[in-house]
Structure 1
Amino acid sequence: MHGAGRNTSIDVFNFWNSYYWLSIWGAIAMACLIHINGRHWTDLRFDLGFAAWTAVAHLAARRWPMATRFVHALSVLPFLTYYFSQPDILVPQDQRALAFVMLSFFPIYTISAMSGLVGCLTSLLITAISAYPLISSSPTAIALSPLYWGLAAMIGYGHYSLTNLLNERYRQLQTMALSDPLTGLGNRRALERDFARYQHLAARDGKRLILTLWDINDLKKINDIHGHSFGDSVIKKFARAVTETARHSDPFYRIGGDEFAGIHIGIENPNDLIRRVRSKVPWVSAGWTDATYLSFEEAYERADQSMYTDKSTKPGDPSIFDMDK
């Protein structure tokens, strides 16, 4: 699709990234409060040590969010193993294996939800290796571990699959909402959305922004004489001509039945582009304006005036629509 803007999806990644770190910090804070209240200083030292590692990981996540969260979630498993292997902690000796099985649910689920099948297999393998010293002597933990870990992996993988499905459906809906189905170009809504972004890019690079408007002359007359199918062919021919003639980086939009718009950063001579397009499709009127410092409404109005000034000097003629040219 030429000109409908960037492909975007539901921003679930940022949501789940924030949710993960909020959950981790909440768990650390709760553990610290419990251990301070009970004067379990050995446990508190482990809490603070894990909090320090989490702080480092959280800072690194600003640059590498996915990789850091994956590594941090995996690190929970060996940390739990080490913690439960200590002699003087709050959890009784005979309950540690079962506690590990239950607490490992969260990292398995998290990693599976992040990375799908790869995350499922990786988290289950690391969990099994980490758990062996703890649960090998506990029949109850051995019996429950496949249920807990398998359930965590399945729920996480289901979350991963559902998220991907929702993102794909959202992309499809957004494409439909921002594109013209006949030409594949962006529509008026896409033009209004993209204008500010391209204006920012032009200002950043110290270049001017040009807005061009185009109008197929006498399209209504063409439809009346030759039929709407022929009119649609005229529209598609113009869309192909203008996108093939302009630079690939210049987005185009169909903003009405016979009206089109283009956004151009740093173009030196817009009239040259218009002449080259007319060499392929002579039956169009066009206008442009320097939109570098204008609002969208101001730029559109000025380009529209320019186009209709051009249109008044170039009346359309249905006889020139030779689709074999």
Structure 2
Amino acid sequence: MSPLDGRFVGRAVELAAKGLGTTSPNPVVGCVVLDVDGNVVGEGWHERAGGPHAEVNALAAAGERARGGTAYVTLEPCNHTGRTGPCAQALLDAGIARVVFAVPDPGALAGGGAERLRAAGVEVTGGVLAAEAERVNEAWLTAARSRRPHVTWKFAATLDGRSAAVDGTSRWISSVESREQVHDLRRRVDAIVAGSGTVLADDPDLTAREPDGTSSPRQPLRVVLDRRGRVPATAKVHDAAASTLVSTAATPAELLDDLHGKGIVSVLLEGGPTLAGAFLAAGLVDRVTAYVAPTLLGSGSHALAGTAITTITDAIGLDVDDVALVGGDVRVSGRPRR
């Protein structure tokens, strides 16, 4: 990888992130177009599902200056016609001479753009900054490859791993700043999943709010796993603030299969310790995001239960890729090792 290629694919990754929360069920994609002299003449990202793809937006900004130039894209240009035309053909029509992309398109319908470009005489390079591009697009890539939604388990706990005190109180373990970040997580996902125990204990809204406290324009689907019909109609999850699905699925895999069939690409798991344990035990958690507060309780509910792990050698390791101070808390995020 040349430093120049890395620089402009890196910029494309930054652009792709601008689409988080607005493109589902499509991927987030960013694109940078250089002219024949190496000057940036166009940038774009996929802004919303059904709208122009990143390459089309960048090419529109570049105009005729794109001819003979280079396009840097986070995802292999698509090669099919859906609600929009194939980006591979758009690049050819614009006269692009070289295409550099990060991640191959895993979709059976959309894949093959690189081959189409090469067949037309375009120089194509793939795999540049693949890890960075995978991270920003991990939800869609998981859904495309595994045929199920990407699952992030989010929880807040004290330094000694407690999610609630002995009397059941848990508000607020995490800081105001951490809770604001959680609302950002909610705005970016398609669905929030919680169990009936959590809903009965806390009566949460399970909605996304803006930094000023107002309701976000886009609300994820609220999913309540309630096999025994315990959640009353008066619970907040049944109000008009967002749509709610009550599921009686017997297993996490069954629930995710049902959500995938409904077009759900990403899930934020906000249930209690037992529900989280069931997802982890089934290997169905793709990312863990923990907010650890500098607080000690010494007793009370644990953040995780029901994994059936009895020895340290079976512990679930985490490949941590993000650690940050948020307010007074420490945020740790990573992927469980398979």
Query: What range is the shorter-chain TM-score in?
Result: under 0.3
Report which of the two has the higher share of strand: 2
Tell which structure's C-alpha radius of gyration is larger.
Answer: 1
TM-score, normalised on structure 2?
0.26
TM-score, normalised on structure 1?
0.27
